[in-house]
Copies of this chain bind each other. A is one copy, B any other.
Amino acid sequence: MSDRQYFDDFVAGSVHDYGPTGPVTAAEMIDFARKYDPQPIHVDPDWARTGPFGGLIASGWHTAALTMRLLVDSYLPAAASLASPGIDELRWVRPVRPGDVLSVRVTVLEARPSRSKPDRGLIRSRIEVLDGEGLVVMTLVALNMVRRRPGGLPS
C-alpha cells in the first residue's frame, strides 16, 4: 500500500525503497517464458547450463512484470493512478536467476502538473531493480499519470 494518495504527494528528488519479493523460482521463470518468451535460455535448463550465463535466466519481461508488481503494491496510489503513457530507457543490466529476490529503489525525477487536464499530473520516476546482493539487474524510467488531490491541499 503506497503512502502517497495523489499526484500532490510525489516529491521530486525523494527516494523510496520497496521489497524484496520472495525468491523467483525456476518453475515460475519457465512458466512465464513458455507463454511469452520461449527462448532456450529462459525455458530449457539443460541448454542454459551450456549457454553464455551458465544457467537459466529470467526473461527480461518477467523481471519487468515482477517490478510492476512491487510498484503497484507499494509505490503507485491505488485510487488515483491513471493509465501510464509508457516507459523510457529500459535496460537489462544483469541476469536474474532462480532463487534471486528483487527490490526496487525509486527516485521521483519530476512531478509535472498537466496543462491540458488540470485534474492530473505526470510523474517521471527512475526505477532501479536490485538483486539480493544489492546489484542492479534492471533500470528504467517510468511515466505515470496520477490524479491531483481534490481541493489541492492534504486533508
Q: Which of A5-13, A62-70, A128-136 contacts B (4 or more CB under 8 A)?
A: A62-70
Query: Given that A52-B82, A82-B52, A83-B52 are known contacts, is A37 also in contact with B88, CB under 8 Å in the complex?
Result: no
Q: Give how many A residues have a beta carbon under 8 Å from the other chain's beta carbons.
A: 33
Supply 15 further A-B pairs (C-beta < 8 A) apart from A84-B92, A85-B92. A35-B65, A35-B69, A36-B65, A36-B66, A37-B72, A52-B82, A52-B83, A61-B65, A61-B68, A64-B64, A86-B89, A86-B90, A86-B91, A87-B90, A90-B90
20 residue pairs from A and B, CB less than 8 Å apart: A32-B65, A35-B69, A36-B66, A37-B65, A37-B72, A38-B69, A39-B72, A39-B78, A52-B82, A60-B86, A61-B61, A64-B64, A65-B65, A83-B92, A83-B95, A84-B92, A85-B91, A85-B92, A86-B90, A88-B89
